Amino acid sequence: MTTNGPSRQAWVILVVGVLTQMAATIAIAGPAFLIPYMHSDLGFTLTQAGTVAAAPSFGLILTLIAWGAFADRFGERLAMTLGIGLTAVFSAAAVLVVDSPIWMVIVIAASGAAAASVNSASGRVVMGWFPRNRRGLAMGIRQMSQPLGTSVAAVTIPGIAAAGGFPAYLWFVAAVTGVLALICFALIRNPPDPTPTRAEVAYPDRDTEPEAERHGQNEQGTASAGEGKPRAASAINPYRSDSFLWRIHAVSALLVVPQFAFSTYGLVWLIVVQGIGAGAAGAIVAIAQIVGAVGRMVVGGLSDRTASRVGLMRIVAVAAVIFVVAIAILSLTELPAVAAVVFILASAVSVADNGLAFASVAEAAGPRWSGKALGAQNTGQFVMSALLGPGFGALVTAFGYPLSFGLIAIAPLLSVGIIPRRDVDRIT
């Protein structure tokens, strides 16, 4: 891939990737907006309704890495088309078992497991089509799809359920994901194989180049560029080459802690601690989601201009520490106007690293490993989010909001010391 501007095909791929990820997000996040309906109209207990709502995420966690490996082996087009198509099939099949909590959990979990293909493959295909000097922006735009998909779900699903019940929601998901499966089949193209060039790799754990390069050899093991048949860098397991991927995975897992705390408990904090009305608090959370989505794009574009993903990631991590501490301090008193502004900024900062981390992971993994690496990246974040749900609630119950947010600030603080010093690029 050259460093020229992205082609028209690349932008088409990005648009389709964003739309497909939004559709997958609606399928995964949608049941959470139906908990009141399941409880009141279907007679599910809150525990049963909550289990149904969590089922897609559980299925997602189980299959993210497998779908990534599938995309590495068979290509993004097949992975995305097959996965989002199966999401449509399982969503339609769930209509047949809508009165059974147990079968609903099983089938809805299967739809989430199928939708996981998009999480791994859409990021991989975007990275493959865009040159390095535009990948940060492209991944920032791609990462906007999840909050936008959640927003669409929040706006549409309650009304759909009110009009036609849970089956109407399931048919809605089946229709949207089915259409996107056809679009993926028609428009997605696997990225061209990168032409092996001199390795443009910075090694984060040492300041000197490897022995082979000091003696005139390139990363692929040839005597010099153009002599012999180079072995693609991506054929080497990047997890064994250096610690870069492991460190980015760890950093992302730590930075998802404040992100999830704000997105899950922010509404309650605004209402209970700051005395803001439910309607106004909901509007503040919605604005925070939109600002955060735009922030991902802006930070991604900035990483292209500065030619450093990890350097910008370090700035974001430090900012996250500052804003989480600010939220902890604000928890001591009631300052609604100040709290609203700080909450919006804190929420935006907490998600600003997502695009940077995904771009870094895909670049460091290389074309033959990026699917699996992106799957591992997503898995770590979802597992941490699942643990944080009850964990932060327990902290608040035991210690209150000020100390709980103070403890949360430790996570981004730890991440600052783990972030690698330099980027690694095995795609270019």
Q: Where are the chain's structural domains? A: 8-187, 235-418
CA dihedral 54, 60, 62, 68 (to 10 degrees): -170
User: Is there a common fold for 8-187 and 235-418?
Assistant: yes
Give the integer Cα–Cα distance in Å for 319 and 194.
36
Evaluate whether the domain defined by 235-418 bears CATH number 1.20.1250.20.
Answer: yes
Helices 101-129 and 8-29 cross at an angle (nearest 10°) of 160
Q: Spell out a b/e string for 104-143, using b for 16 or more CB atoms within 10 Å of the CB, else e.
A: bbebbbbbbbbbbbbbbbbbbbbbbbbbbbbbbbbbbbbb
Per-residue pLDDT of the chain (428 residues; tens, 9 = 90+): 445 677 888 999 999 999 999 999 999 888 877 877 777 777 888 677 777 877 888 888 899 889 988 988 888 899 999 999 999 999 999 999 888 888 988 999 999 999 999 988 888 888 888 887 888 888 888 888 887 887 788 778 888 888 888 889 999 999 999 999 999 999 999 887 655 444 334 444 443 334 333 333 333 333 333 333 334 444 578 888 888 999 999 999 999 899 888 877 888 899 889 998 878 888 888 888 888 888 888 888 888 888 888 888 999 999 999 999 999 999 999 899 999 999 999 988 988 888 888 888 888 888 788 888 888 888 888 888 777 767 887 888 889 899 999 999 999 999 999 999 888 877 66
Pick the CATH number of 8-187 from 1.20.1250.20, 3.40.50.2300, 3.90.1300.10, 3.30.565.10: 1.20.1250.20
Query: Residue for token digits 């090694």?
Result: 203
What is the structure's pLDDT at 127?
81
pTM over 0.85? The answer is: no
